[in-house]
A and B are shown apart, each in its own frame.
Chain A
Amino acid sequence: MLRLEARPAPSRLMQWCSPLLAAALTLLAGMAIFWALDKDPLEGLRYFLLNPVKDLYGVSELLLKATPLMLCAIGLAVGFRANVWNIGAEGQFMLGTAGASGVALYFAESDSALILPAMLFAGAAAGALWAAIPALLKTRFNANEILVSLMLVYVAQLFISWLVFGPWRDPMGFGFPQTAMFHDAALLPTLLDGTRLHLGFVFALAALAAGYVFMNRSYTGFKMRVAGEAAEAARYAGFSARRVVWIGLLTGGAAAGVAGMAEVAGPMGQLTDKVALGYGFAAIIVAFVGRLHAFGSLLASLLMALLFIGGEQAQQYMNLPSSISMVFQGLLLFFLLGSDVFIHYRLRLGRART
């Protein structure tokens, strides 16, 4: 009989193999789903794994999709490491789009080079401001940050909807819920001619590098990790629990806000009521699959971006709803959490010793 036996120490090998195992299991489950839907599993794989990266344009689209995921995920990882559960990145992302769009629309006449930095700042600040609400309520009133940050996602969605149906609606937009297109000075330059990949990707790489240095090389980052792994030890060492909450949430909010800015100033070019496509929630999965680590988050965002694009392809070519990508993303997280059991336990044959 198979049974689980506790390992003397957590396995570092499994720590990194478990995401690979999870990805492989997701692949198998995906093929089973295609088969169950009467679609050719190999054709499904082609649309999910090969088609998106078959040429340079495909790769650029993959990196474009990965950009908001990387930004949101690295911000979340900083908090998750410290057991600060900000799950409202989706809302902070939306506030970031609103902050950046505000600057772009207000200075629509100007072509100053300062517009983009101002949009970046406004996006980050708006995201951080939205995350400051759960931080304040957690530190002052002990209110659960999971529920507060999540409630604020719904509020943010309604807020965006008010902006684009109300004061910011494009008067020439035939009544569609969207703002005017941004002028050139408010758009991020593209990195490669003929693609949509823009400067935001560089922001994302920079954020990953900064996240790595902060989490693995700085004293504050060390304190955050201690707070996450051994709260009692952190208290004994005199680390401020409140500061940990504030840093965790503000970093996550600002990073998600930057992601929002890069989205409206990048591929969207305007604010609409469908600006958030679930990147903030998907980033939770990215952060876990990436082991709350900068390099891991990079790989995990690419994988998740592949699933997003695969979903679009499946809709286009296989006549499946694009929400199939959410199913795969959820499965990926399930399999990861399940595989993680092998970090602390190993499988043994036979009965337990008594």
Chain B
Amino acid sequence: MDASLFTSMLFATVVAGTPLIIVALGLLVSERAGVLNLGAEGMMAMGAVAAFAATHTTGNPWLGVLAGMGAGLAVALIFGVLTLTLQANQVASGLAVAIFGVGLSAFIGKPFESVALPAVPAIRIPFIADIPLIGEALYNQQALVYFSWALFWAVLWFLARSRAGLVLRAVGESPASAHAIGYPVIAIRYLAVLFGGAMAGIGGAFLSVFYTPMWVEGMVAGRGWIALALVVFATWRPLRVMIGAYLFGGVMITQLFIQGSGLQIDFPSQFLSSLPYWATIVVLVVISRNPNTIRLNSPASLGKPYRPDA
């Protein structure tokens, strides 16, 4: 492999992994608080379409990111009201969010289907971007790529080192004990769900404004679900989310590069395109094979409703 190919593949892998990192870290925080939100796909779709619409209207991609975040927040709020206030089943509510978000985004996005946005220029970090091989790939990137790294450190610090993170984890492990000590379980879970929604919205915004600056119905293409699988794969740990996201980015990019290289003689492109989905399945199997891995690592109250006065 020659050096420039390596650099461009690394660059593309980082870009492909970025939305997964942002979304999966948001989901990780809400799952650590005990809330399973299967609606990531819908929240990302809403984030993507809102960000695209706002960027297209105002010409400012940062307003787009804000709009995407707002859309993710709004959908997450619906999920929160259903599952936290009204005690609805989290699995069913998450599916509802996924279906509704994908549907509503298709509806809102219809007028924007044939327009493109100007590409947002990358931000080059002086000096370190000159490192051979990796400098151009890692340090001449979109701002949201740097954001995903900052988010990683923030979530890591928050969960492992901060008092608030400790409380959040306590809520996820044993809401009844956290409530008995006097912590507002429902409010903390709301915040965690909203954080997850905001990150999913930003992840969607990255797709429609930075990654492929256009809106196509169904453009999230399962990334929300893959992010959910990543959290399981990562056994609810931020560092492994990061590694997993780049592995997935690598799989997506490798199949794209093979498709684009003209190397394939007799291998249909559709089979190559399905590789990331198969990879998700394989990863789930590998990590779930030992039941103890999941049982010991998943937040103990994950997916179970809790009502303080019940």
Contact = CB atoms under 8 A, between A and B. Distances in A.
Interface residues of A, number: 46
B173 interface: no
Contacts of A142: 288-289, 291, 294
A154 B284 contact: no
B268 to A, nearest CB: 5
A327 B268 contact: no
A231 interface: no
Given A152-B277, A340-B88, A345-B87, A327 B107 contact: yes
B106 A337 contact: no
Interface stretch (B97-105, B146-154, B202-210, B238-246): B97-105
B107 A337 contact: no
A162 B271 contact: yes
A167 B162 CA distance: 58
Nearest to B113: A321
A311 B124 CA distance: 47
B284 A323 contact: no
B274 A155 contact: yes
B166 interface: no
Contact of B86 (A282, A284, A337): A337
A285 B97 CA distance: 11
A326 B284 contact: no
A213 interface: no
Given A321-B110, A345-B87, A327 B277 contact: no
Interface in B213-259: 217, 221-222, 225-226, 228-229, 232
B31 to A, nearest CB: 13
A161 B273 CA distance: 11
Contact of A326 (B95, B99, B271): B99
A166 B267 CA distance: 11
Interface residues of chain B: helix, strand, loop or mixed (majority): helix
A334 B87 CA distance: 13
A154 B277 contact: yes
Interface residues of chain A: helix, strand, loop or mixed (majority): helix
Contacts of A333: 92, 95-96, 99-100
A299 interface: no
Interface string B47-67: 000000000000000000000
B93 A150 contact: no
B88 to A, nearest CB: 4
A324 interface: yes
A341 B91 contact: no
A112 B59 CA distance: 63
Which residue among A152, A166, A334 has the maximum number of chain B CB atoms within 10 Å of its CB? A334
A281 interface: yes
A337 B100 contact: no
Interface in A306-322: 321
Nearest to B287: A143
Nearest to A37: B107
Which residue among A133, A324, A337, A352 has the maximum number of chain B CB atoms within 10 Å of its CB? A337
Interface of B: 38, 78, 81-82, 86-89, 91-93, 95-96, 99-104, 106-107, 110, 217, 221-222, 225-226, 228-229, 232, 268, 270-271, 273-274, 277-278, 280-281, 284-285, 288-289, 291, 294, 309-310
**CB-CB nearest 6 A-B residue pairs:** A326-B103, A330-B100, A323-B106, A162-B270, A321-B110, A337-B88
26 contacts: A141-B288, A142-B288, A143-B285, A144-B232, A146-B91, A147-B281, A150-B222, A154-B274, A158-B271, A162-B270, A282-B99, A284-B99, A321-B106, A323-B110, A323-B217, A326-B102, A326-B107, A329-B103, A333-B96, A334-B78, A334-B82, A334-B100, A337-B92, A338-B81, A344-B87, A352-B309
